[in-house]
Amino acid sequence: MLTNIGIPGLVLILVIALIIFGPKKLPELGKAVGQTLREFKSSTRELTDDVMEEFEDDKSKSKSKK
């Protein structure tokens, strides 16, 4: 996703964010985005682990029935 933006696009986005939010709010905004991404990644990992666990349980149950 970010590979298509490039350096000039990234600089433009940062300048627009600086104009909209101001220099005092920008670090707070970055921290909030980082925390949100961290929580999303954690939730995704938990969901994947739950699905894989159920898959393994179903697989072991089908082997024991045979």
Secondary structure of the chain as H, E, C letters: CHHHCHHHHHHHHHHHHHHHHHHHHHHHHHHHHHHHHHHHHHHHHHHHHHHHHHHHHHHHHHHHHC
Domain ranges of the chain: 5-64
Residues 6+ apart with CB under 8 A from 5: 13
pLDDT in tens, 1-55: 556 778 888 889 889 988 998 888 888 988 999 999 999 999 999 999 999 998 8
Report the CATH number of the 5-64 domain.
1.20.5.3310
pLDDT at 5: 76
> What is the model's pLDDT at position 41?
95
How far from 2 is each of 20, 33, 47, CA to CA, in Å?
21, 16, 25
pTM for the complete prediction?
0.58
